[in-house]
Structure 1
Amino acid sequence: DKKAGLYIYGLDGAVLQFLPEGLLNNVDVVEGLNLNGRPQVLLGASDRTPGKTGIALYTFDPAGQGDNGVRHWGNVTTDVVEPYGFCFARRGAEVHAILVGHEGELRQFVLTVGADGQPSARLVRRAGIGTISEGCAADEATNALYITEENVGLWRYSLDPASGAARTLVQPIAPGVLVADAEGLTILQDGAARYLIGSSQGDSTFPVWRIDGAAPEYKGRFVVADGAVDGVTGTDGLDALGGRISDRFPEGVVVIQDDVNDVGTQNFKYVDWRDVRTALGL
């Protein structure tokens, strides 16, 4: 919640936990961090709270017992005035945190556990994207970092911080494909295939690229129309996970923020990946 903190939801939409942490924006999750000898799930969010703008970090112990919720771990302060986009990446044994600023700043950090058990962050890349940017998604398998520049298009960078600001324009803003504002990004693994899903906020559609080949291949786009509940419009962020999630989502799910809801505040919609795959003929 951009105005309140971090919510954790169940697959049924119920609130499992709420942390009143301030002005958090984009959230990502990664596994592979060891804390006090125990493997943890690491959560991170871009934090716009005055006085601590940067990255807020949280941990979850998947093997924990009893009152075992998500816990605040620490913060990474940065020079980014208004943090917007955020994503994690794995590079070998390293966990990287990537922050995108409202004014087009790109910052990449390597995260480690300090001697005191608190997070330690080493800045390894500082670059400029250009103008207002937000969406961020890392594809470790192809060493690619995808970022949306809202009024320009979809960029592909290398995950290697030594590559600096070098990049390739995958898709410029264009009617019928990607309409400004270009917003959130997420990656879904579906068997041997990997797909990048974006938010074309200007026309409330979701373009999809297959990204496991030599270059991203545009596969089409979909809308989430009215059904048992209202459809989806004006999406900022989205996330996706392939494979079996539950009986309701046996092959994957896409979770999409809906900016305008028929009743009450904005909310999230869960979409069966099979429906997307069928609609696009994947």
Structure 2
Amino acid sequence: MVLAPHPNPDAPVLSHFSLNGKTALVTGGCRGIGLEVARGLCEAGANVAITYSSTLSSEADEIAAALSSANGGRTVKAYKCNVRSKADIDTTVDAVVREVGGGKLDILVANAGIAAHVPAIDYPEDKFREMFDVNVNGAFWAAQAAARVFERQLKEAGENGTHRGSIIFTASVSATLVNIPQKQAAYNASKAALVHLAKSLAVEWVDFTRVNCISPGYIVTEMLTIHPAEWTEQLYRLIPGRRFSKASELKGAYVFLASDASSYMTGADMIIDGGYTLP
């Protein structure tokens, strides 16, 4: 097993971050972190596919068109996809490879996820299963579908080929610590499972893809706005950085992991949290 080397490590450093000619797929890419990730990848030069489930199709198409227009007409296309369905994900990945990538795929960001605050002793069975079905199973189905493409592309490149993919999971600081005051055992456990899944896949798939995680702290998205005001005040006191992050502050990290700038990085979990996990 060989981790692909950087194609030109001595080139000027900013060139290491370029995604020109690359094709990326971002699940849950129509809102929140996923939308900013898609924006960042597109700004770095990639053609981008985004998936959605609850967003209106017309709105998703408008989001894709706006991203494309802001980036010189670069290809951006939205796909409706239920990440809980392996068949749906397989169909979507095939379509992205054909319609956006011109037969190839380079980057997968498995970002789609859900959160809920439910006391563990009262957790309904269906809701607990749903949490893992979206956050863990859905991420794995997407990674598996992308990995099959990456493996095929490496074989097609021949004996001296070095084509490799990059898979990035959106995990959470909740994989590392137990958040307070909210009660979210299922969410925390699902994100911890996702981080260890990434480590396992990084070893198993090292020949044809790197697999890494980004674990955001408190980001200003719809998930955060549901917190009561008293929770927000307590969280501010717990974060050494004394503020929440904008989703757009994360896009550089995703570009780093998607690009050759992180060519020797696999199985890692990048915690970006304003110091929240440190005390």
Normalising by structure 2, we get a TM-score of 0.30
Normalising by structure 1, we get a TM-score of 0.30
Q: More helix by proportion, 1 or 2?
A: 2
**Which one has more relative contact order, counting CA pairs under 8 Å at least 6 apart?**
2
Q: More strand by proportion, 1 or 2?
A: 1
